[in-house]
């Protein structure tokens, strides 16, 4: 009677279970209210998408609120319609006037609220995306959005905890937008806040390109000459051996 060792099987099962847990950790961490992309350029108009998943197993998401910053406000906000959802943007007087390149701002968009119809609520295991256009992006290192998620059972989850660099992510992190320095070629258009910013392509240096092309040609010719000489030497050697 032959006995099959079980130790390798157990080790393999344990390895697979551990790998499954490791893979599940990033998935669980991503199941929060997020903003994408999470980077933008200062002074530009940014199209952002708030991704809202339903994490509860017995209730659906019926309302989503996003608070816009007031200390470093956006000068404008607009939303892309989402089927089955109504959206409302609230403009408020700022606690303190903010000076910008276009003048002093005393009022700015401060909140966006999406409310679902009965059939459009985000069911358990589903998520919904809410696209917005915001501008002008303030010239600060980062922008934090406080989000409030309301469920069909009346419960409310606030995504407003700050994430500190190098620290473990909190249980309910606020969606975060990292802001990069403004480039001279990407100035926003004042005519339309939804107009995409277009960066001018750098002009090519023709003289440099010509020099590079000529160098490439001469290197090619030199390589071909070396190959021909090597072939002649090989043929000569073969001929001598045949004699």
Are residues 46 and 138 in contact, defined by beta-carbon separation less than 8 angstroms? no
pLDDT bucket at 182, cuts 50 / 70 / 90: confident
- pLDDT, residue 30, reads 54
In the predicted structure, residue 91 carries a pLDDT above the cut 70: yes
Pairing verdict, β 39-41 and 127-135: unpaired
HEC per residue, 19-88: HHHHHHHHHHHHCCCEEECCEEECCCCEEEEEEEECCCCCCCEEEEEEECCCCCCCCEEEECCCCCEEEE
**pLDDT score of 100:** 79
Cα–Cα separations (whole angstroms), residue 190 to 2, 22, 78, 235: 82, 48, 15, 73
The stretch 171-195 carries a mean pLDDT of 69
Which pLDDT tens digit goes with each residue over 55-89?
999 999 999 999 999 999 999 999 999 999 999 99
What residue ranges define each of the domains in the chain, with the CATH number in brackets?
Answer: 32-176 (2.60.40.2230)
Give the Cα-Cα-Cα angle 163, 149, 107 (nearest 5 degrees).
75
Instruction: Reply yes or no on whether the pLDDT at 38 is more than 90.
Output: yes
Tell me: pLDDT of 28 over 50: no
């Amino acid at each position: 009677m032959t006995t099959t060792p079980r130790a390798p099987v157990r080790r393999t099962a344990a390895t697979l279970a551990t790998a499954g847990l490791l893979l599940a950790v990033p998935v669980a961490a991503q199941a929060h209210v997020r903003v994408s992309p999470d980077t933008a350029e200062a002074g530009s108009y940014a199209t952002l998408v708030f991704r809202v998943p339903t994490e509860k197993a017995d209730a659906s998401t019926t309302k989503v609120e996003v608070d816009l910053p007031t200390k470093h406000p956006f000068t404008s906000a607009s939303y892309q319609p989402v089927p089955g959802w109504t959206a409302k943007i609230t403009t408020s007087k700022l606690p303190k006037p903010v000076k910008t390149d276009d003048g002093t701002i005393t009022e700015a968009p401060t909140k966006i609220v999406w409310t679902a119809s009965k059939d459009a609520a985000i069911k358990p295991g589903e998520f919904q995306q809410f696209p917005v256009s915001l501008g002008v992006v303030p010239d600060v290192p980062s922008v934090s959005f406080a989000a409030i998620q309301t469920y069909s059972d009346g419960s409310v989850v606030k995504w407003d905890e700050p994430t500190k660099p190098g620290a473990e992510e909190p249980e309910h992190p606020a969606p975060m937008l990292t802001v990069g320095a403004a480039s001279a070629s990407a100035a926003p258009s004042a005519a339309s806040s939804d107009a995409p910013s277009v960066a001018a392509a750098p002009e090519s240096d023709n003289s440099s390109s010509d020099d590079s092309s000529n160098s490439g040609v001469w290197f090619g010719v030199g390589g071909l000459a070396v190959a021909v000489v090597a072939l002649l030497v090989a043929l000569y050697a073969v001929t001598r051996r045949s004699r």
